Amino acid sequence: MQVFNYGAEWQKNWLQALKTDKTIGFVPTMGALHEGHLELIRASKKSTDFTVVSIFVNPIQFNSQEDFEKYPILTSQDLDLLQKEKVDFVYLPNQESIYPEKPIINLDFGNLERVLEGKFRPGHFSGVGIIVSKLFNIIRPNIAFFGQKDLQQVAIIKKIVTDLSFPLKVSIVPTVREKDGLALSSRNMRLSIEEREKALILFNNLEFAKNELLAGNKWLAVRKQIIHAFKDEPLAKLDYFELVDPETFQVFEEFDRSKKSSICVASFIGNVRLIDNLPIIP
Ligand code: AMP
């Protein structure tokens, strides 16, 4: 496994891959790696010749300084995991090399970012769009791998690739969960034992809502019941619980079996903000 810190170091490997007709898979992460990240890496290793994993906690996508400062950094543990997965290359850039200056451009994803994560985290997707574009330009992968766990991010990244003609394919990996259903997230390690138990409220209500919809119950009535359930849990603070088109992020007021639909949720559990989603009609 080769670790590098600067884009210039990668260029000779990229050229070599190009000359020898080898494909490059890329898995961008913010580290504190868990099975969810490892599934992306396994998907990349399965379908490409070389896998590059980046670890970079991107300051410009955080809209809370506290969230940024508390983001777990576990680089040596991460490198051990990556070595075990037989990853070929790890890109560990520092802040100065990625942002020699604070970017002045701002990306606006229109209606895609007026709702859900975009609404509750202003500027977040611009920050995601900028770092992902930079990383695509530096690594120049053939396939980039992202998790369905961050569903709105997937829609945003697909839009960047289309709108800016990045010459690569985006591949999506289903959400990896704990046995009880909690979606794996680097933020889960900030939960206390009690909060970890209460965090199940996200997945449990996604499942409940899915079953209710498939049984023919009305979405707005189901949603109202769920909002009450969150209000009754003192450790939870719900940001949103919405039924959406997973590609356009149009928010639905009613469930229609003929339309692609996913339910998305974001809630604080204590001080930790968690998100999750469940496809209803994939
Ligand atoms: P992060 O390090 O949180 O920025 O995540 C890096 C990549 O891993 C993103 O594409 C995420 O969507 C993906 N990811 C995070 N958690 C999971 C999970 N539980 N299952 C699948 N993919 C995930």
Per-residue model confidence (pLDDT) at position 180:
98
What are 79-110's pLDDT values in tens digits? 999 999 999 999 999 999 999 999 999 999 99
pLDDT, tens digit, 9 for 90 and up, residues 228-282: 999 999 999 999 999 999 999 999 999 999 999 999 999 999 999 999 999 999 9
pLDDT digit string, tens, across residues 20-55: 999 999 999 999 999 999 999 999 999 999 999 999
Query: Is the minimum distance from the CB of 161 to ligand 1 under 6 angstroms?
Result: no
Contact of 201 with 235, CB cutoff 8 Å? no
Per-residue pLDDT, 220: 98
Whether 29 is in the pocket of ligand 1, judged by its Cβ within 6 Å, is yes
Catalytic residues: 37
Q: Output the residue whose Cα is nearest ligand 1's atom 12.
A: 147
pLDDT, residue 207, reads 98
* pTM of the entire predicted model: 0.98
List beta partners, residue 273.
268
CB 242 less than 6 A from any atom of ligand 1: no
Residues across the chain: 282
- Considering only CA atoms, which residue is closest to atom 17 of ligand 1? 36
What Cα–Cα distance (Å) separates residue 127 from each residue in 111, 238, 264? Answer: 17, 24, 21
Q: How far apart are CA 6 and CA 95, in angstroms?
A: 11
Q: pLDDT tens for residues 150-186?
A: 999 999 999 999 999 999 999 999 999 999 999 999 9
